[in-house]
């Protein structure tokens, strides 16, 4: 057992009994949405996972402890603190633990802590990737490296559409990460169902997903699996509207000198403003959709 890790009693009991558990990130709580919408959404996602047969394990760093499973009070605490809580990627964990600090986990650190705890499936909104202009800035999310080395299935709505999706797929291919389309042969683009880029394989049921992941783990692959699950059609945004908002947000980020790990929170918040809040509702619905699929797949893996 990792001496810096605390597994919530409910999560530990489920893992010990071989019951399904789904990990959830906490950056979406502290950096992804305003309070109290962030807390309400986090609790709703947990409820959705329970309704679909699994135990939720929201992951964070609190007081220097790596937490696999949070209480409602801890989720409330992260939601109220907002961006005062550090956005914790791989490089940040040693400092946060040593200093007894708090951290909201990204896709990268949620995967890491989930793996430490023995959790095999993680549901999120969208992964990070290769940022536009990365050929000069070298701005590439640590999420892609983590997918290449940590054996966790990540269920998402594709890479965030603020990114260079083509280069993101190329990077994942180089790292040997299988990109699976759930009910689609085309990579979803977070707010929209299609991107124009193909996935590696299409599957049409949680049973197929569970079988594929079971085979991957049975061959002792080093890395994980990326499952891309399109946003429900009724909540998808008009591509022209979202693209225009993203382009304006990118221009403003460049003008204001926003870079590094502050880029994604800035862009997503600005897109919410530019779309009159429509993108926030889409974000919530796609996370719930991913939670349902992850829970159903986790239940099959547990069987």
The pLDDT, as a whole number, for residue 1 is: 58
Residue with the larger pLDDT of the pair 252 and 279: 252
Q: Would you tell me which CATH number, out of the four given (3.40.50.10310, 3.60.21.10, 3.10.129.10, 3.40.1790.10), belongs to the domain 5-302?
A: 3.40.1790.10
What pLDDT band is residue 271 in, cutting at 50, 70 and 90? confident
**Predicted local distance difference test score (pLDDT) of residue 59:** 98
Mean pLDDT in the chain? Answer: 93
Q: What is the pLDDT of residue 246?
A: 82
Mean pLDDT of 70-87: 97
Q: What is the pLDDT of residue 183?
A: 98
Transcribe the chain into DSSP letters. Answer: --TTEEE-HHHHHHHHTT--EEEE-SHHHHTSS-TTHHHHHHHHHHHHHHHTT-EEEEEEEETTEEEES--HHHHHHHHHHGGGSEEE-GGGHHHHHHHT--EEE-HHHHHHHHHHHT--EEE-S-B--BBTTHHHH--B-HHHHHHHHS--EEEESBB-TTB-HHHHHHHHHHTT--EEEES-SB--BTTBS--S-B-SEEE-SHHHHHHHHHHHHHTT-SS-EEEE-PPPGGGPPPHHHHHHHHHHHHHHHHHHT--GGGHHHHHHHHHHHHTTTHHHHHHHHHHHHHHHHHHHHHHHHH-
Q: How far apart are CA 272 and CA 286, in angstroms?
A: 15
Q: Which residue has the higher pLDDT, 81 or 131?
A: 81
- Does residue 294 carry a pLDDT above 70? yes
Size (the chain), residues: 303
Choosing from 160, 261, 278, 296, the catalytic residue is: 160
Give 58's pLDDT tier (boundaries 50, 70, 90). very high
Domain boundaries, the chain: 5-302
Residue 282 is encoded by which pair of tokens?
Answer: 């889409």
Predicted pLDDT at 228? 98
Q: Is the pLDDT of residue 77 over 80?
A: yes
Section 210-223 average pLDDT: 96
Q: Is 160 a catalytic residue?
A: yes
What whole-number percentage of the chain has pLDDT above 70?
99
Among 25, 46, 74, 146, the active-site one is 25
Q: 94 pLDDT exceeds 90?
A: yes
Give the model's pLDDT for residue 37: 94
């Amino acid at each position: 057992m990792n001496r810096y890790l605390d597994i919530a009693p409910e999560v530990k009991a489920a893992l010990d009994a071989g019951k399904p558990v789904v990990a959830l990130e906490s950056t979406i709580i502290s950096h992804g949405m305003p309070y109290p919408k962030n807390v309400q959404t986090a609790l709703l996602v947990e409820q959705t996972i329970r309704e679909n047969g699994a135990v939720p394990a929201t992951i964070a760093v609190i007081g220097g402890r790596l937490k696999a499973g949070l209480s409602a009070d801890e989720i409330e605490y992260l939601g109220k603190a907002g961006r005062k809580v550090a956005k914790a990627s791989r490089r940040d964990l040693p400092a946060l633990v040593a200093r007894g600090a708090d951290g909201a986990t990204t896709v990268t650190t949620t995967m890491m802590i989930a793996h430490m705890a023995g959790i095999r499936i993680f549901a999120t909104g969208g992964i990070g990737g290769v940022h536009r202009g990365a050929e000069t800035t070298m701005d590439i999310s640590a999420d892609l490296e983590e997918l290449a080395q940590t054996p966790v299935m990540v269920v998402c709505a594709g890479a965030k559409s603020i990114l260079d999706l083509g280069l993101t797929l190329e990077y994942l291919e180089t790292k040997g990460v299988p990109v699976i389309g759930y009910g689609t042969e085309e990579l979803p683009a977070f707010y929209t169902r299609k991107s124009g880029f193909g996935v590696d394989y299409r599957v049409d049921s949680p049973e197929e997903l569970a079988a594929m992941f079971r085979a991957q783990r049975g061959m002792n692959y080093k890395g994980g699996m990326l499952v891309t699950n399109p946003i429900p059609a009724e909540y998808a945004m008009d591509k022209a509207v979202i693209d225009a908002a993203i382009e304006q947000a990118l221009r403003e980020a460049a003008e204001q000198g926003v870079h590094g790990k502050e880029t994604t929170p800035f862009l997503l918040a600005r897109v919410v403003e530019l779309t009159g809040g429509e993108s926030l509702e889409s974000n919530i619905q796609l996370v719930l959709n991913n939670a349902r699929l992850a829970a159903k797949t986790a239940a099959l893996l547990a069987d």
